């Protein structure tokens, strides 16, 4: 049986789920985490449901067997859509949190009633997403745009230097893809008929927020899922009496803070250099936390 001191498992098809890990670290500073990027098989968004479901089951079992996780966050919209119900059935005692594009939070903030949604093709063509959109279709006008190749380009970009200040958005591969897809969606802004809200329906996309902001303007609200997922994970752990307690105070009376190397493990089935670069750039975590693993 898991203990409160056991780690929380977090996985994504690649490094995009680090955006969710960042929110989890902020919301639960006393927890331990094992993050697994299945980069050898990324991107999931352009794979079939059967393949994604098989990987999700294999990784869940690996994290339970090898790391004795007390909860699992599926930090991948595509894997959630393809496999979350099956994983719940196979592991009914495991607190489990999945992701879906944050359509409902977007409805709560839009003023024009026009909402843009970007995501992987796997997410946006899934039965789960279709059911969600059907249930909300009369509440706003949605423009849904699959962004083929963008998540993979973001993965590749972590090893590249950032674009020089003042360069055009399309000076990089990620910027060029963002520009293509944003322009295909139509008008953004606060005027009637314009999209004033953009749902980032893939965990990777928050890492191109700068490029997206340059394209849609300063008034458009971005909605992503990291913070809501962190809040839900905390609620589930509290309900199961598995939330880690703060450590005892230091002998000199100072509070004991999180020690990153003791509380975070970063694993990948692909090249470890990519995960090292992403962890350092996006979470300011040292490369020493990263290692490569095999998950058959």
Q: Which residues are catalytic?
A: 76, 202
CA 1 to chain centre: 27
Burial class (CB in 10 A: 0-12, 13-18, 19+), 248: exposed
SS3 of the chain: CCCCCCCEEEEECCCCCHHHHHHHHHHCCCCCEEEEECHHHCCHHHCCHHHHHHHHHHHHHHHHHHHCCCEEEECCHHHHHHHHHHHHHHCCCCCEECCCCCHHHHHHHCCCCEEEEEECHHHHCCHHHHHHHHHHHHHCEEEEEECCCHHHHHHHHCCCCCCCCCCCHHHCHHHHHHHHHHHHHCCECCCCCCECEEEECCHHHHHHHHHHHHHHCCCCEEECCHHHHHHHHHHHHHHCCCCCCCCCCCCCCCCCCCCHHHHEEEEECCCHHHHHHHHHHHHCCCHHHEEECCCC
Of the chain, the end-to-end C-alpha distance in Å amounts to 25
- Using CA atoms, how far apart are residues 293 and 296, in angstroms rounded to an integer? 10
């Amino acid at each position: 049986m898991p203990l409160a001191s056991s780690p929380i498992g977090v996985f994504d098809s690649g490094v995009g789920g680090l955006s969710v890990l960042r929110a989890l670290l902020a919301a639960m500073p006393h927890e331990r985490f094992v993050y697994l990027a299945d980069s050898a098989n990324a991107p999931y968004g352009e794979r079939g449901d059967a393949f994604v479901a098989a990987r999700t089951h294999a990784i869940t079992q690996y994290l339970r067997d090898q790391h004795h996780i007390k909860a699992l966050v599926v930090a991948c919209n595509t894997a959630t859509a393809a496999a979350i119900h099956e994983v719940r059935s196979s592991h009914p005692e495991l607190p489990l949190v999945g992701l879906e594009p944050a359509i409902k939070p977007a409805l709560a903030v839009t003023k024009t009633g026009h909402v843009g949604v970007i995501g992987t093709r796997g997410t946006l063509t899934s039965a789960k997403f279709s059911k969600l959109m059907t249930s909300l279709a009369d509440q706003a006008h949605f423009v849904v745009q699959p962004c083929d190749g963008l998540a993979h380009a973001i993965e590749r970009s972590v090893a590249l230097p950032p674009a020089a200040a003042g360069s055009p958005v399309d000076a990089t591969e990620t910027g060029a893809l963002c520009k293509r897809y944003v322009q295909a969606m139509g008008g953004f802004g606060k005027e009637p008929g314009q999209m004033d809200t953009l749902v980032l329906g893939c965990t990777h996309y928050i890492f191109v927020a700068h490029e997206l902001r340059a394209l849609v303007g300063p008034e458009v609200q971005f909605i992503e899922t990291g913070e809501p997922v962190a809040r839900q994970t905390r609620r589930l752990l509290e309900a199961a009496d598995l939330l880690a307690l703060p450590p005892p105070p230091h002998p000199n009376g100072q509070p004991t803070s999180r020690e990153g190397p003791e509380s975070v493990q970063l694993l990948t089935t692909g090249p470890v250099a990519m995960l090292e670069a992403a962890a350092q750039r996006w979470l300011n975590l040292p490369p020493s936390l990263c290692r490569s693993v095999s998950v058959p």
